[in-house]
A and B are shown apart, each in its own frame.
Chain A
Amino acid sequence: MMFKFLYPSHLFSFLNKGISIISAIIIPFLFLSLIFALLISPQDYIQGDTVRIMYVHVPAAWMTLMCFGMISFLCILTFLFKTKNTILLYKSIAPIGLSLSLIAIITGSLWGEPTWGTYWVWDARLTSMLVLMFFYLIFIFSYKFISNQNLSLKVCTGISVIGLINLFIIKYSVNIWPTLHQTESIKIIGRTTVDSSMLLPLSMMLLVFFLYCALIFLMKYKSEVIRIKKKGLKKI
């Protein structure tokens, strides 16, 4: 059976295995990627060393978008089929996404000061990213503080569906409107405008961020399951 690990009896051994594997590889891999990103990779031709902020900013931004996409998917699934396990899954993802969106915004504004000459502007990309952060906040509040399970699920689904539209606005904001933020460099269709010597550390850092998210997710999920087992809660 493919989904054997989802059975409660197998769940903990699966979670523990995942946590131990990821925590064993993440630290050496993080150091390797940081060496590539901070020392080996070249300077940019106009920005100089400032370009190294990209290796944190871009993976954080991508992962926070991915986290919200996952949350929306799981929330819609929960709303449609009333599955209980998915509630725990999206509750475990949401804090990660919030912290990553904060990282993306803070590193972005630190990058903006030396390049654009300002920490913050109200252009379409930056504003929609801030809106995403507030969506995460409202989402977390609405499952934490609404005690009625049904109502909480409805509110969460509503927020995640509106947030899903916002994801597309974030993605295409730099193409539709003139923004101070540059258009995307890494394209699925067309030529990527990041030099290959910078693309390698960027993809390594993306993998590090992914592993970090997976690690925190597994830990949070485990503690959520334990919390329910301990208390026999009515509301998941």
Chain B
Amino acid sequence: MLVRAAKKRIKILVATLSLLILIAIFSLVVLRDNILYFLSPTEIKNSENLNYSKKIRVGGMVKTGSVSINNNEINFIITDLSNEIFVTFKGTVPNLFSEGKGVVAEGKLKDKKFFIAKRILAKHDENYMPPSAEKILNKDVK
């Protein structure tokens, strides 16, 4: 049987734990804008107080067929399948950067449809498979 002191400690622990969980939830909700690593094109379109001089990050998928390279400037479109944003970038991109794959661009907005990137990061998805399995999958799609 539990002694009285242990019961008291259980109460203390449950009270502290629930208080801490509440604090954690509130602070995470309040800090949401800082935790977001990148914004999607839709969020940029809908947000009203955008700071055009501040460095932000835009993420989504590189639209298939949108990548064009001239000299060392690379232009492409980031899409989240409902909205798009045009990105221009000077420099080298990571190996995994390719059409139809995830990408995060860091830089400044010129306007809501045009983004000047200073850094490009490739975002890869949660699928891991050998090349042979991918061919079979693609065949199934076609």
Residues of A that sit less than 8 Å from B by CB = 42-47, 51, 54, 76, 79-82, 114-118, 121-124, 157-158, 161-162, 165, 169, 177-180, 182-185, 193-195, 197-198
Binds A, one of B16-24, B68-76, B107-115: B16-24
State the CA gap A79–B129 with chains docked (Å).
Answer: 46
CB distance from B133 to the nearest CB of A (A): 5
Given A177-B37, A185-B128, A193-B126, verify A117-B134 contact (CB < 8 Å). no
CB of B4 within 8 Å of the partner chain: no
State the CA gap A123–B10 with chains docked (Å).
Answer: 36
Contacting pair B128 A193 (CB below 8 A): yes
State the CA gap A193–B132 with chains docked (Å).
Answer: 15
When the two chains form the complex, which single residue of B13, B94, B127, B130 contacts A80, counting CB atoms closer than 8 Å?
A: B13
State the CA gap A82–B2 with chains docked (Å).
Answer: 12
Q: How many residues on the B side are at the interface (Cβ–Cβ under 8 A)?
A: 42
CB of B79 within 8 Å of the partner chain: no
Which residues from chain A contact B38 at a C-beta distance below 8 Å?
178, 180
Contacting pair A45 B134 (CB below 8 A): yes
When the two chains form the complex, which single residue of A46, A122, A169 contacts B96, counting CB atoms closer than 8 Å?
A: A46
Contacting pair A114 B121 (CB below 8 A): no
State the CA gap A197–B129 with chains docked (Å).
Answer: 8
CB distance from A224 to the nearest CB of B (A): 25
State the CA gap A164–B79 with chains docked (Å).
Answer: 37
Which residues from chain B contact A42 at a C-beta distance below 8 Å?
130-132
Taken residue by residue from 59 to 71, chain B's Cβ proximity to chain A (1 for < 8 Å, 0 otherwise) reads as: 1000000000000
Contacting pair B129 A45 (CB below 8 A): yes
Taken residue by residue from 29 to 42, chain B's Cβ proximity to chain A (1 for < 8 Å, 0 otherwise) reads as: 00010011111100
CB distance from B119 to the nearest CB of A (A): 8
Contacting pair B37 A116 (CB below 8 A): no
CB of B122 within 8 Å of the partner chain: yes
CB distance from A76 to the nearest CB of B (A): 7
18 other contacts beyond A115-B122, A116-B121, A177-B37, with CB at 8 A cut-off?
A44-B128, A46-B96, A47-B96, A47-B128, A80-B13, A114-B94, A115-B94, A117-B122, A123-B37, A124-B37, A158-B16, A161-B17, A178-B59, A185-B127, A185-B128, A194-B129, A195-B128, A195-B133
Which residues from chain B contact A185 at a C-beta distance below 8 Å?
126-128
Given A79-B13, A117-B94, A178-B36, verify A44-B6 contact (CB < 8 Å). no
Residue of B nearest to A187 (CB): B126
When the two chains form the complex, which single residue of A43, A79, A124, A169 contacts B24, counting CB atoms closer than 8 Å?
A: A169
Which residues from chain B contact A54 at a C-beta distance below 8 Å?
128
Residue of B nearest to A162 (CB): B20
Given A76-B13, A161-B17, A169-B24, verify A180-B123 contact (CB < 8 Å). yes
Which residues from chain B contact A161 at a C-beta distance below 8 Å?
13, 16-17, 20
Which residues from chain B contact A116 at a C-beta distance below 8 Å?
94, 96, 121-124
Which residues from chain A contact B37 at a C-beta distance below 8 Å?
121-124, 177-180
State the CA gap A11–B81 with chains docked (Å).
Answer: 62
CB of B50 within 8 Å of the partner chain: no
Contacting pair A45 B133 (CB below 8 A): yes
Interface centre among A44, A157, A178 (most CB of B within 10 A): A178
